[in-house]
Amino acid sequence: MKPRPFDYLRPDTVEEALVALAEHGEGARILAGGQSLVAMLNFRLLEPLLLIDIARIAALDYIRVEGGALEVGAAVTQNRLLAYPGLGSEAPLLALALPWVGHFQTRNRGTVCGSLAHADPSAEIPLALAVLGGEVVLRSVRGERRVAATDFQAGMLATARAPDELLVAARFPLRADRRAAFRETARRHGDFAIVAVAAVVEPDGSVRLGVGGIADRPSVRRIEPRGAAAVAAAVNDFAWDLGGYDDMHASPRYRRDLLRRMGTAVIDEALQCAA
């Protein structure tokens, strides 16, 4: 398989990348780890005129705590974040979710921000960012803006990123209550999730439940843990509101059933784990 011919640009700075993006807009694609993009290029599902390789931009290769959030630059790979020593204490949900992202071999190159920009509806990193109430940082020659995760992902493989914008960082909020849980059902560990669920506990004792793989983007709902029957009813309402989609792996009905079973389990698990 061969992608269609494209021009290749490997800028050394963010500014050089932004100028190229401003010039080429929708004809250009950002290449970071390439673990989703190159497969799509090989199939010619995408035929960009220009690839802008940001993997060697040193200014995008950082993990730091800033302004109440764990900020991850666009050149950071998934395995690098997984190996970050503070991950378990600063973002326990990420420590639980990242091992489910692809395989060991794809996490070595795949980036955290690349997964967000790709916006697969069943992907784990967009789900974690949405449940945590995080945001992405978008930069262009026009300036910089921050967009909440729930506004950023606009649908199946679609985001609010303008054609001249570069997703430079993701911000995962640090939470006072560290209780979190994550579960996923897939045909094989490392494959795309059929349904993935994540839960974190809010300061008032309610639970933020997020689900991927059922709607065209991750969805989040606040659930009050007022007994097993009330939780089951609330998760059931959530499942019916989202509906679920049909593909070769699962029917909408099966996806709703997975959400009912895993959603209630992940809420219990989050509430019971040590704060």
Partner 1 sequence: MRRVSRAERADIRFTLNGRAVAAAAEPRMLLSDFLRDALGATGTHVGCEHGICGCCTVLIDGAACRACLTFAVQVEGRTVATVESLAEDGKLNKLQQAFQDHHALQCGFCTPGILMSFTDFLGRIPDPSESQVRDVLSGHLCRCTGYDGLIRAVLAAARHHRDEKAP
List 25, 86, 103, 241, residue binding partner 1 (CB under 8 A)? 103
Q: Does 8 help bind partner 1 (rule: CB under 8 A)?
A: yes
Q: Least distance to partner 1 from the beta carbon of 13, Å?
A: 8
Is residue 188 near partner 1 by the rule CB under 8 A? yes
**Of the residues 1, 176, 248, 274, which one makes contact with partner 1 according to CB under 8 A:** 1
Q: What string marks each residue from 62 to 101 as x (binds partner 1 by CB under 8 A) or -?
A: -----------------x-------------------x--
End-to-end CA distance of the chain: 50
Reading phi first (left if > 0) and then psi (alpha if -120 to 50, else beta), residue 17 is in alpha
Distance between CA atoms of residues 219 and 68, nearest Å: 23
From 23, 26, 43, 64, residue interacting with partner 1 (rule: CB under 8 A)? 43
Q: Which two tokens stand for residue 79?
A: 């395995």
Question: Encoding tokens for residue 249?
Answer: 């792996």
Burial of 165 (0-12, 13-18, 19+ CB in 10 A): buried
| Piece of the chain touching partner 1 by CB under 8 A; list 48-56, 157-165, 221-229, 256-264 | 48-56
**In sequence order, which residues have a C-beta less than 8 Å from that of residue 271 and are 6 or more positions away?**
179, 201, 207, 225
The stretch near partner 1 (CB under 8 A) out of 36-44, 116-124, 156-164, 252-260 is 36-44
216 sits near partner 1 (criterion: CB under 8 A): no
Evaluate the CA torsion angle 180, 184, 189, 193 in order and state its sign.
negative
Residue 42 lies near partner 1 (rule: CB under 8 A):
yes
Q: Which residue has the tokens 């993935």?
A: 196
104 touching partner 1, by CB under 8 A: yes
Residues 6+ apart with CB under 8 A from 39: none
Q: Which one among 28, 51, 54, 201 touches partner 1, defined by CB under 8 A?
A: 51
Applying CB under 8 A, among 173, 190, 225, 252 the residue interacting with partner 1 is 190
Instruction: Return the number of the residue (101 or 128) whose C-beta is nearest partner 1.
Output: 101
From 67, 189, 203, 248, residue interacting with partner 1 (rule: CB under 8 A): 189
**Span from 31-39, 168-176, 209-217, 252-260 in contact with partner 1 (CB under 8 A):** 31-39
- Residue 46 sits in the site that holds partner 1 (CB under 8 A): no
Q: Do the beta carbons of residue 71 and residue 146 sit within 8 Å? A: no
Crossing angle of helices 228-242 and 252-272, rounded to 10°? 140
211 - beta bridge partners? 197, 219
Structure tokens, 261? 């079973």
Half-sphere exposure of 44 (CA within 13 A, CB side): 5
Residues that bind partner 1 (CB under 8 A): 1-12, 16, 31, 34-35, 38-39, 41-43, 49, 51, 53, 55, 79, 99, 102-106, 108-109, 188-190
